[in-house]
A and B are shown apart, each in its own frame.
Chain A
Amino acid sequence: MKKTMLFLAVFLLTITFSVSGQKAAIDKAAPDFTLTDSKGETHSLSDFKGKYVVLEWINYDCPFVEKHYDAGNMQKLQETYTGKDIVWLSICSSVDGKQGNFTPEEINKRSEAHGAKFTAYLMDTDGKVGKMYAAKTTPHMYVVNPEGTLVYAGAIDDKASTDKADIKDAKNYVAAALDAAMAGKEIKEKVTKPYGCSVKY
């Protein structure tokens, strides 16, 4: 019995390590992770197999994130696509003591004030998941398809600025990727250069 337990422990550890050592790559299986959200629940990417998942790197104090939340653009996207049974995970990789690293209470207060419509706000306080996905900026957006393959990585849209007025003429890459994928079409831009503040690792 003891032996079996030991074997199981080693087996599990190996799996954990092999998973956390993985790096995300386009058109490859998106590496799994488990994080706690601001409400205290834990979520794993693998929980959502069979559904499209959007990963949004977030930092409420970054002017580029403010642009999209103050204009209501991000909430509108979240509402539209969660309405189509898509899972939306906002991930904050600001490590302890850095900008954007808030207490769960503060997060919930701000999210409510913004009227955010994400599925969950995940706290990646040691930056591991961010580095696994090579998240560079806030926002930095990813789309995972129902098979668990990473199909989009990059900017939210094609107008790199902090000016809200740019949103209406911008081409939204995330919406384009989701619409194309859900219609069974090829995603034209799978990788774009993200823009924003640096992730505060």
Chain B
Amino acid sequence: MKNILFLLIISSALLSQSVRTDHVTAELVSEFNTIKPGVPFTVALRLEMDEHWHTYWRNAGDSGIPTTIEWNLPPGFEAGNIHWQFPQKIVVEGLSNFAYEEEVFLLVNITPPDIISASEITLNAKADWLVCKIECLPGGADLSLTLPVSDRINEASKWFDDINRTRSLLPIANAPWTVSAEVEEESVTLFLTSEKNEVAYPGDITFFPYTGGIFDNASQQEVSRNENTIRIKLPLEAFRSSEPDTIRGILVSDTGWRGDDSEKAFEISIIPGEQAPISENQNSESLLLILGFAFIGGLILNLMPCVLPVLSLKIMGFVEQANSGKREIYHHGLSFTAGVLVSFWVLAGVLLLLQSGGQKLGWGFQLQEPIFLLVLIILLFLFSLNLFGVFEIGSSLTRLGGGSSKSSGLTGSFISGVTATIVATPCTAPFMGSALGYTLTQPALITMTVFTALALGMASPYLLLSIFPKWLKIIPKPGNWMIAFKQFMGFLLAATIIWLLWVLSAIKGSDGLLLTLMLLLFSSIAAWIYGTWGNISVSTTKRRIATVISLVILLLPGYYLGSTIEQIDFSQSSTSENSSDWENYSNEKVQQYLSEGIPVFIDFTATWCLTCQVNKKVALHNDEVESAFKDAGIKTIIADWTKRDDEITDALASFGRNSVPLYVLYSGKKGEKPVILPEVLTPEIVIDYINQL
């Protein structure tokens, strides 16, 4: 009976009102029949056009304007940007449009809050479009979609297949092709190199730019092929509003980019170079160079302020092992290296996977997740308590005493490798920015190779030490001094925790900070109980009870407080503390200033990026520098990437980067390329750049 009632509710509530306007029928449709709290789902604006009428893509082409959706959602619901399936090119009398005929689904991801008290939810949206055949009519509709809320597994709606098919028409970010570009007087040539030496299969290719007014849309795009390269010559617009500094858009193949019947649209974002197209040889050469940079970058990572304290764990390990056997030290070195390697691979793999799933993420993305931060803070806190001697894990007591335990020691080395990597990611060291950015445009295999070099670079000092343990001879014999040393390292770790707490407070506010500190209190009680009654000097039964109690004290509040912190909706911008001279980033604003010829400086930053914070304090928010900015009439803009932000991720990508810090200075003069400043700044460097304008 209950089920039937439920079905009735679904069938009555699911109806969305389709709106018929001149030449267009519009409606909102969902992939699911219900909304499950906390589970994102896709809603589409479905437009059905009369025969021969069309509505427009994100870049309409020579005329027309793109369809827009303005959402009005219940509190806690969030809508993403439109995901546009690739358009068709419609040419009429020498003018060209990028548009959709017949039927189109414009996809938008909706994220509902974790808790919904209402039994049904209505999503409202105002859609506006221009529909044209040869003549044009502006159109629009107020649309709504009501769906019941349910905790059950989402059930596919009748639109599920259509929405899924549309997903396969969205551009993919990675394909087994290397793309480069060269700018000539009146054209741009794209060079596509197949990694499989296979140039036949993409069939006919068309480029659709994201920005209008640069390329001559109506002229023929000449495509030629030789052994392993496809050239596409794109004529430039005679009257162009800007030069092709960055080429962003999609390449559409009529067969697919990964073989027959694979994805047909491939998203590219490249900064044209003057150099000749990358041939096989040059490619491997520049790859070698990049690998070298990545290795050195990894090495330098060890000295970055965010990694140093964590490495204290590792240094501790070496001190402890200094007097063990040669073989054992070697094994520890290998475990640590493995820990670093595996975690770099996992991070890079997850990043690639999420990116190919259409998520806009960059390096350091894990610190944009509050739950991840929380777990990391607690873990490091427990580590530091361990160093202070509040509790010992397993047989580490005996290890300190001079003996050694193989298995737990090796796991420890592995874990310290993992921790070091996770904390290291946000500290994009110099050299690493370009190496990481390079991977953006590369296929997965090369990306993984670059990350491997990075990992090896970071682990190399320890690996070398463990291969040549003689170098460790200078370390004195173990004794009481080691306990003091260990405790000192605990303070360094505490410093890292302060930094992470600050990052968390930037994402979740002072409430989140308070709850986290409470959680740390519980963690310390748990550690204390375990340390006092759970060590090996106590009887087995007592020890077991103490272990269970301390786990309960750690995990229960951890679960409740953790989920409460997760739900805190802290939307206040973390940049509000900045002085009024610094404006918050928006692409529109930057373009506005540039179109007025005003020079612009952009600081791409994040709270969790220590390099960024040091630069900010030392070189940017410095009176001398700020007055130099003012005197030169430069607008200073801050792009804060602490939380996920698709617009900023896109902007970083347009400079070939996927990490912060990045400092960009636009002269404001037409056609002049922006200057990218070094990742490590001093006031003198910044002022030098300002004077060069």
Contact = CB atoms under 8 A, between A and B. Distances in A.
Interface of A: 23-26, 61-64, 98-99, 127, 131, 134, 136-137, 153-154, 158, 160-163, 188-193, 195-201
B474 interface: no
B5 interface: no
Interface string B509-550: 000000000000000000000000000000000000000000
B137 A136 contact: no
A197 B132 contact: yes
Nearest to A176: B596
Contacts of A198: 62-64, 92-93, 95, 97, 132, 134, 136
Contacts of B238: 23-25, 134
Given A154-B239, A192-B213, A61 B63 contact: no
Interface string B224-256: 000000000000001111000000000000000
A193 B213 contact: yes
B135 interface: yes
B38 interface: no
A199 B65 contact: no
Nearest to A195: B65
Nearest to A173: B595
Interface string B116-137: 0000000000000010101111
A11 B332 CA distance: 92
Nearest to A64: B136
A193 B130 contact: no
B135 A136 contact: no
B597 interface: yes
B95 to A, nearest CB: 5
Interface in B81-118: 92-95, 97
Given A162-B138, A198-B62, A136 B95 contact: yes
Contacts of B132: 197-198
A189 B134 CA distance: 30
Given A197-B63, A198-B95, A199-B95, A191 B135 contact: no
A160 B93 CA distance: 22
Nearest to A100: B135
B212 interface: yes
A90 B572 CA distance: 50
Given A98-B134, A197-B135, A191 B239 contact: yes
A63 B595 contact: no
A192 B241 contact: yes
A201 B93 contact: yes
A-B pairs, top 6 by smallest CB distance, nearest first, are A193-B213, A201-B93, A198-B63, A162-B138, A136-B62, A197-B136
Contact of A201 (B95, B130, B241, B595): B95
Contacts of A196: 63
B438 to A, nearest CB: 31
A137 B240 contact: no
A23 to B, nearest CB: 7
The residue in B63, B138, B595, B596 that gathers the most chain A C-beta atoms within 10 A of its C-beta is B63
28 contacts: A24-B238, A25-B238, A61-B135, A63-B130, A63-B138, A99-B134, A99-B135, A134-B238, A134-B239, A153-B239, A154-B239, A158-B595, A162-B130, A162-B138, A188-B670, A190-B670, A191-B239, A193-B213, A195-B63, A197-B64, A198-B62, A198-B63, A198-B92, A198-B136, A199-B63, A200-B93, A201-B94, A201-B95
Contacts of A199: 63, 95
Contacts of A98: 134
A199 B552 CA distance: 73
Nearest to A152: B239
Contacts of A193: 212-213, 241
A1 B92 CA distance: 49
A136 B217 CA distance: 11
Contacts of A63: 130, 136-138
A62 B136 CA distance: 7
Nearest to A192: B241
Contacts of A161: 65
Nearest to A63: B138
Nearest to B93: A201
A127 B95 CA distance: 13
Interface in B584-611: 595-597
Interface in B36-75: 62-65
B65 A160 contact: yes
Contacts of B65: 160-162, 195
B314 to A, nearest CB: 56
B94 A26 contact: no
A130 B213 CA distance: 17
A99 B63 CA distance: 15
B95 A188 contact: no
B336 to A, nearest CB: 55
Nearest to A62: B136
A189 B595 contact: yes
Given A191-B241, A192-B241, A193-B212, 19 more contacts: A62-B135, A63-B136, A63-B137, A63-B138, A98-B134, A136-B62, A137-B63, A153-B239, A188-B596, A193-B241, A196-B63, A197-B136, A198-B62, A198-B64, A198-B97, A200-B93, A200-B134, A200-B135, A201-B95
A137 B137 contact: no
A158 B65 CA distance: 13
A201 B218 CA distance: 14
B371 to A, nearest CB: 42
Nearest to B212: A193
Contact of A26 (B97, B136, B239, B596): B239
B613 to A, nearest CB: 36
